[in-house]
Structures are given as C-alpha cells and as structure tokens.
Structure 1
Amino acid sequence: MKNDATGHRYLRAVLAGSCILAITHSATAADGLIRKRMPDRGVYQPPTLVAGQVETVPTTALPTPTSRRRAAPVNLVAAPAVSAEAQDENEAASNDSNESLRELPMPVVLESVETQTQSPQLKTVSFEQASAAPAVPKARRSQPTQHVETCSCQSCRSGQAPATMAYGEEVIYDDEVVYSEPSYDLGCDAGGCDSMGCNRCGDNHWFGSVELLLMFRNGDHLPPLVTTDQLDANFQVLSGAEKVFDEMTAGGRLTIGMWLDPYKDRSVVGRLWFAGEDSHDFTANDSSASVFGRPFFDVEFGQQGFQVIAEPGVASGEVSVHADSQIAGGDVSIRQLWYKDRGATVDLLYGYQYMRVEENLRISSRSTSLSGVDAGAILSLEDSFGIENDFHGAQIGVSTFYREGDWSLSTLAKAAFGNTRRRVDLSGNQTISIDGDSASQPNGLLVRNSNAGVHDDNTFGWVPELDLTLGWQRFPSFDVTFGYHIIAMTHALRPSGVIDPELGTDLSDATNRPLAVFRKDTVYVQGLHFGLSYIY
C-alpha cells in the first residue's frame, strides 16, 4: 500500500510538471505565432488584443482561379470582438509590456471564384494562411483584333506604336490584368515591323496626301483653220488639220480622309484634282507666207471657198488662233473593308463623282484691202467656240492596300455613271471699217446666225478611273509616293465636234448653214503623279 501511495504521488508530480510545461509551451507558441505574422499594409487598423486572448478562427483557402471574369465578393470573416473596457485595459497593459501585445491582420475578404464546373471546393485553413493567400487579380477579356493595322514602320521605330502582345500574355492595363487574344499579326520584328505593319497606331482619325500630277490628254483633231491659197495645188495648212491638247501639263491632287470607326475598317475619303491647262496658239502675218487666208466650203455653189487675209498687192493682214483646255474633278466616297489578310486590305467604295472638261477655240483675223474700190477698208472676223462638259453621278469601285516593311502598294479602280450636261456658246462677229466708219454684225466665218447662240443638252455618261501608287516610307509617318493615273469622260463635246463639217457657207448667208452640231467624243487624261502621303 505504501508503495502504491508513493507511486501515486510520483505520477501526480509527473502530471503536474507536464501540465506546467504544456502551459509554458502553449504560451510560447502563441507568442511565436503572433511574431511571425506579416505586418499590415496600413489600409486597415484593427483593435489590439492582450496576448493569450487570441482566438484562432478557421477560414477557407481560395482555389487557383480558372476563369478570367471578375469575382464577386461573398462573406467577410469578422475580427474578434473586444469591449470598450477590455480595450482600455489593453491600452494600459501595452504601456507595461509591449512584447505581450500584438496586432491582428485586417479582416479577410473571401471571394467566390467561378470555375468551369460552377461548384468551387473550399479548403479550411488557419487565419495566417488565409491572410497570406494571394489576392485574386481583377481580370477582363480584351477584344480580339479584327482589323489590319496600316501604320508605318517608322511610326513603330519612333515609339508611336507598341509591339504586339503574345497570345495568353498577362498585361497590366489601367490597373487591370488584360489577357491578350490571338491576332492576325504575328508581332513586330527587331525593326518594329512585319508584313502587316504594327498594332495600336494611336487615335489619329485623319489621313491624306498631296500629289503633283504630270498629265497628258488624248488631244483633239481640228479641221483646217488657216491655209495658203487653196486654188494652188501646192497649198499648205498653216493651222488646223492637226492634233491639239496633247502636251504634258502639271496639275495637282489633294486627298483627305477620316476613319469612321475605331477599328479603321470604314472611312470617308474626299479628293480634289486638276490636270492643268493645255493651250494651242498660232499667229500668221504678211511675213509668214505670201498668201494665206481662212478656208470654208460654199454649200450654195458646192465648191471650196477661201477668205483672203493677206496677198501681195491685194490685201495685208494677220490671223491668230487660240485654243485651251482645262480638266478637273473631285469625288467623295465611303470605303468599307471587305477583305484583309496579313498586311493586305480590300475596300469597297461608293459615293459621288464630279468631273468637268472645259475647252475653248477662238479664231480672229484682220485684213486691209490694198486695191480696188475697197482700198483702205478693214475687215475683221472672229469666231468663238466655248464648250463646257459637267458630269455628276454615282460611283462604285474597289481600292486595295498592301504594306511590306517600308514599301506599300495601293490601287484604285472605279467607275461613275450619271448625267453629263453639255453646253456650247457659239458667237461670231464681223466688223467693216471704211474711212473711219465701222459697222458690225453677229456673223463670223464659221459662226453665223444659223448656229450662233448658247446650246445645251443632257446625256448619259461614264467616268472610269484607274490609279496605281507605290509608296516608300522615307520619313516617320509619311510615305513618298509615285504612281500612274488615268481618268476619262464619255459622251463629251470638243471644239472639233461643234464645227460644221462643211466648214462654212456662202458669205451672203443665203443658206441655213453652218449648223449647230453635237458630235460626241471621249476625253481622257493620264500620266504620272508624285506626292507625300500621311500614313494612317
């Protein structure tokens, strides 16, 4: 029995010592747990607690997010409640022993994450594990690139356009995580460019170009206007019976466009151009030839006639011929992306087209009689032909663009159809001066009462156009361009088409000739253009 009592006392002593060690170890472990906590970021200041009164709160861990949608908050784990008296005691105790007081981290916000199975599994963890869990980044899905960028390589190299993101890459944009989507672009190379240029070229909505045009018209064939004596078998044509308006002229073209959507798939483009003025001039006087004058056909007698201007011993005089041609136009079109593939785009266009062809012909002569009863008399004749062709219509066509590094190629093929208003102003004048007295009448040689006046009509016409342009990026954001251009107008009037083919009438005006005639022709202008284009 004594041995049993002794054993019981020994056992109780061992148990008491174990309890004391356990209590001491528990306090030390709790103190060590608090010391290992990471300091708060200063966003939230929780109340302080006395050491030993901390209660471990079980929480749940967050699974790895599998969705890129923004998570919605659910429950909050409340911090341990502390009364006002306990808080005052804690503040007093903190002055005595700072080592026994610790701050708890801010309350943990638990967010539910939508998974592919819609049944998230939560894991129970300690308070420290929950506080140390990484925050779920806010994520959003970026819009996939659905257009072809046509910015310049120099723009990329100058830092105006960032490099293309790789597929699936996380990028911080406006404090949010952006996951890149697959793109048609394969990314910029070491020089900042690839077959389609570079992405994200900025927010500039305007583009345009200025070009110098060196153009050639198809010309017009005038009938004989000034000849030597036609009664001579060896007569010569001094003016006329030749092609005019076929010299090179310098013009210009201005193009301005604006994008109508952020993807740069739809734009409005306006153009103004002119081909310059081409002119033809001829002058003859007594020193030019022994005999010269103006031919006509006498329909009353059915034979060739000749109005003498200069002939030795008969008359002296001079004659001048002036002709000019101006061609200009403009259009406004909407261009819609139709096809795209690695730096190449094809746009369909539709809109309004205007074109004007204005040509004039004036023949003036002055002759003084040297013999006969009319000696000293002065005869002045003038014929004027003013022609205007104005086209208004709708246009449809296709434009393409392709860029490869610093080089680009653009094409334009379109046709407009609509109304061509043709207007002809024919006027003639004849003045006879004898001894200081003069008399005038509205009759020239080729324009007389029978055809003088303003005549106009309307007809259906076409205006086709073709343009090829090669660009080289010599300066940042600008292409130096070179190309070929041709545009035409059908059913137009020209000087040769409004002159009566009989070329005149009986000077007594006994017949109803010449007539007002309208012989249509096609006018076209073609040539090269050089310019500077602002790259969009």
Structure 2
Amino acid sequence: MSRIPVVRVEADVRAAYNRHAPHARQGTNIPTSARPIVEAIARLFPNEAAQRGRALRRSLALLLLALILPGVADAEEVTVCDDACLAAPAWSCEAELLVWWLRNGRIPPILTTGPAGSQGILDRPGTVVVYGNEKLDVNRHLGGRFTLNGWLDEAHSFGFQARGFVIERNSRTFELFSDGSLLLARPYFDAAAGAQASQVIAGPAPGTGDLSGSFYGFTKNELFGEQASIVLSLGTEAMTLNFLAGGYFLQMRERLEFTSASKLLPDEAVIFGTTDKSKIYNRFYGGHVGLQGELWRDCWFLGFQGQCALGLTTQRVNAFGDNVVATPFSRDWVPVGLLVQPSNSGKRDDSTLDVVYEFNVRAGCQVTSWLRVHIGYTLIYWTNPIRAGDQVDLALDRQQGAAGAARPRIPFADDWFWAQGGSAGIEFVW
C-alpha cells in the first residue's frame, strides 16, 4: 500500500506558502519546524491512488499554512538572525514553571513503640522510634516565577527588573492506630526527674489502664520571594552585561502538628486527647547587588543572573496546644499539650543578621522577534533561618520552673537552608 510522497506534499505547501505569504521570497523553503507536520500529513493517507487529486493535496497544504502562517514571518526572520530581530528589546515579560527541591528539615523522636514493659521510653531496651528522629522526605515542589524587565532610556543604559516567585505548599502526613495490642507512646525527657519518660497513648498505661489510641502527624512548608532592582548597563560588546542593585524579600513558612487520641478499654467511655501545634515564620528583608548577562550565538543564548543580599531575618514561632479528658458526664480542657507548655506557648520573636545568595543560569532560543523560550536552573542559599523541627524541645518540666529554668523552651536554633531546581519559561519581548 503506497503513501503520498512527502516531497509532493511539501511541494504543494511551498507553492501555497509563496502565494499566500506576502513577505515571502519566491522559492523560499517552508520553515524547518513545519516538516514534522508535512510528514504527518503524508502518513495520514496510506492509499495514494485514492488521494492523488491535487485539489485534496492543495487543501491539506492550505490547512498546514493556517497552522504555521501566523508566526512564519517572524520565524523566518529568526532563521537568518538579522540585527533587527536580535536587537535588545526595550521591554520583556517572562513566565516560568518551577520544579524545585527544598532542603529537608529534621524532627526529633515524636512517636515510639516497643515491648509493653518499655513504655516506649527512649533509653529502654526494645524501644523503636516510629515517627521522627529523621529528616522529613518531602517531594518536589511546583511553582511559578514572573519577571518584568524594562529600559527607561533609548540607549538602554538604565532600567529596572521586578521579579517574584511562589512555591506551592507541600505537606506530609503520618497516621497510626492501635487497638491496644501495639504499644504507642510519646517520648520526652522529664527535666524535674532528670530521666527519660513517655506518655503512653496505646497499650498498658501506668496509673490509667489499657488504652487504644491513634497518632496523627502533619508537616507543611512553603517558600516565596520578591525582588526589585535598578539595572545599569556595563556596555560590553562581547556580551550583554548589567549591574543590579535593589531590595530583596524572602519568606519561608513551616507548620508542625502532633495529635494523639486514646480511649480507656474495654468500654472506651473515657477519651484522652493531646495536641501540639507550631507555626514557624522566617522573613528576610535586605538589599542586594548582582550581575546579569547574556551571550548570543545565532538565535541561541546563554544567560545568567547572580546576586548577594545582606539584611535581617525576622523569626517567629507560634506554638499552642490543648489537652482534653472527656467522660460521659464531663469534659475537661486545658490550653497546653505535651510538648507545648506555658513556658513555650504563644508567639515568640527573634531576629538575626543574615545573607541570601541566589544564582540563575538559563539557555534558550529566540523563536520569533517577540518570543523567546528557555530552560534554566536556580539555586538559593539562605544562611540563618530557623526550621520547625529544631524548635521542638523534648525536655518537659510540668512544674514549669519551680526548681530551675522552665522547660520546654523555644531555642531559636538557626540552620542553613537551600532551594534549587529547574525551570522552563517563555518570554515576550518588544
């Protein structure tokens, strides 16, 4: 079974192109990007005898032109890469899809199991950490970044850049239930006794009885930032090179939640519930300086932008908890959890001098005189933010400082942080 030759279809497309594209030079080949469509048309009709009429082939050629003609003039200009097409634009607007990874944070041991006699206490034989004592394995984050560039004079010597990005909220949950046959416990360090201890939430609980219980852990983080820069051209001939200076803002928010619920066996008429929650806010405010450049070869370009920002990071920890004991006749509630006590509940603030580094590199192509596409890579390094898991204090003093410093506390322990990943974007220039 024969097919319409690709050469014949292409000849009809070329003839229609020369007739219907007023800008075209006679005999001009169709754009290379259209050849896959030409070949697809030839493959669509396996029986050449049934499709041999020139009227049908002309119709297919005109249909192909309807798909490629709106951008063919610009595409042809880019193919020859003349100065008018590749001249530096006065304005550009860019949108990018981001696929990033953030440095995972750690959480301390939060849930344990083991033999009934161990009570899930950390230093006893057989105790195993079920949740915590590890880095949280968070999947990749998707996001978007938007950039507006503009020159404010005809010589393109003085301009501005405004840029912002946002990464989606990414969360992780952990749930575990026991009917009492599997011991579950919340470990902590008894500061008053100077020894490890635990709160049993499923299994035999000393002084309470046999319990069934469940545990729920939740973590979430998100990142976004903005910057505004004055751009000064350094006027090099070998490549485009600009100096940047302006304001830089970066924020990271994290959340932790640990909830346990227990029922007294066998009738489950008495219910115990405990919740610890904390929200962490890091906000960096600073000024930055940097360099931005592009190197061109024909229609292809390689660009970079690097900057260093110096400023202040404000840190806030907002912790709260609750304890509930419910019976068929009463319900008692207190506004403290297990690891959230009066000594570390509520809003606490701190600040520190900080530095943020950012580096971007991208490679792309000028598709038309008004459109560019590119792929890229970004690395952000933040020196002194706080992470949510590092603010969890496992030392617990139920007397709240009657014989010493009140525990638990908020340590405001700094840790370095990075975000990195790839991007794919389109840029409109004019």
- TM-score (structure 2 length as normaliser): 0.75
Question: How many angstroms apart in 1 are the aligned matches of 2:333 and 2:399?
Answer: 15
Q: 3-state DSSP class of the match of 1:443? A: coil
Residue 104 of structure 2 corresponds to residue 219 of structure 1: yes
Distance verdict in 2 for CA 1:154–1:225, change over 3 Å: farther
Q: CA deviation at 1:421?
A: 1.1
Match of residue 450, structure 1, among 343, 347, 352:
343
SS at 2:260's partner residue? strand
- 2:378 aligned to 472, 477, 485, which one? 485
Distance 1:155 1:474, change over 3 A: closer
| Matching residue within 219, 228, 246 for 2:113 | 228
Matched to 2:413, the amino acid is R
Counting aligned pairs with the same residue, the percent is 27
Structure 1 unpaired stretches of 5+: 1-152, 160-189
1:104-115 aligned within 5 A: none
**Residue number among 262, 267, 270 corresponding to 2:162 in the alignment:** 270
Retained in 2: the 8 A contact 1:154–1:477? Answer: no
The residue aligned with 2:388 is 495
| Regions of 4+ moved over 3 Å | 153-159, 197-202, 506-511
Q: Residue 304 of structure 1 corresponds to which residue in structure 2?
A: 196
Deviations 1:213-267 (A, max 9, x none): 0000111011011111335522222211111264211011000111111122222
Q: SS where residue 384 of structure 2 aligns?
A: strand
Q: 1:233 and 1:266 mapped to 2: Cα distance?
A: 69
Q: CA deviation at 1:488?
A: 2.5
Equivalent residue number for residue 187 of structure 2: 295
**Which residue matches 1:533?**
427
Inter-partner Cα distance in structure 2 for 1:154 and 1:507: 77
Matches within 5 A, 1:325-404: 325-342=221-238, 344-370=239-265, 376-404=269-297
Q: Secondary structure at the match of 2:351?
A: strand
Task: State how 1:47-446 maps to structure 2 within 5 Å.
Answer: 157-158=76-77, 191-193=80-82, 197-198=83-84, 201=87, 205-229=90-114, 230-231=120-121, 233-244=125-136, 246-286=138-178, 290-311=182-203, 314-342=210-238, 344-370=239-265, 376-446=269-339
The one-letter code of the counterpart of 2:192 is E
Q: Distance in 1 between matches of 2:268 and 2:94?
A: 64
SS in 1 for 2:312: strand
Letter of the 1:437 counterpart: S
- Cα distance in 1 for partners of 2:313, 2:291 equals 23
Q: Which has the larger radius of gyration?
A: 1
Which residue matches 2:363?
Answer: 470
Does the aligned pair in 2 maintain the 1:156–1:198 contact within 8 Å?
Answer: no
* Kept in 2: contact 1:284–1:320 (CA 8 A): yes
Measured in 2, the distance between the counterparts of 1:200 and 1:207 equals: 13
Q: Residue 525 of structure 1 aligns to which amino acid in structure 2?
A: A
Q: Which consecutive unaligned segments of at least 5 residues does structure 2 have?
A: 1-71, 115-119
1:347: how far off?
0.6
Closer, same or farther: CA 495–288 of 1 in aligned 2, 3 Å: farther
Instruction: Name the CA shift for 1:338/1:381 in 2 (closer, same or farther; >3 Å).
Output: same
The CA distance in 2 between the partners of 1:221 and 1:489, in whole Å, is 17
String of CA shifts for 1:358-401, please: whole Å, max 9, x gaps: 10101111111227xx9732111111111111111111011111
Of 333-342 and 216-225, more deviation after overlay is shown by: 333-342
Are residue 505 (structure 1) and residue 396 (structure 2) matched?
yes
CA distance in 1, matches of 2:161, 2:342: 48
Instruction: After TM superposition, give the deviation of residue 286 of structure 1 in Å.
Output: 1.3
Query: How far off is 1:531 after superposition?
Result: 0.8
1:209 touches 1:533 (CA, 8 Å); kept in 2? yes
Aligned to 1:520: 414
SS in structure 2 opposite 1:261?
coil
Structure 2 distance, partners of 1:200, 1:449, is 64
| SS of equivalent to 1:521 | coil
Check the 8 A contact 1:156/1:192 in 2, yes or no: no
Q: Work out the CA distance in 2 between the residues paired with 1:507 and 1:370.
A: 27
Give the TM-score taking structure 1 as reference length: 0.61
Mapped partners of 2:179, 2:212: distance in 1: 10
Structure 1 residue 278: Cα displacement: 2.0
Higher relative contact order (CA 8 A, sep 6+): 2
Report the secondary structure of 2:154's partner residue.
Answer: coil
Question: After superposition, what is the alpha-carbon deviation per residue over 1:311-362, rounded to whole angstroms, capped at 9, x for unaligned?
Answer: 16710111101010010001000111114124x1111110010100110101
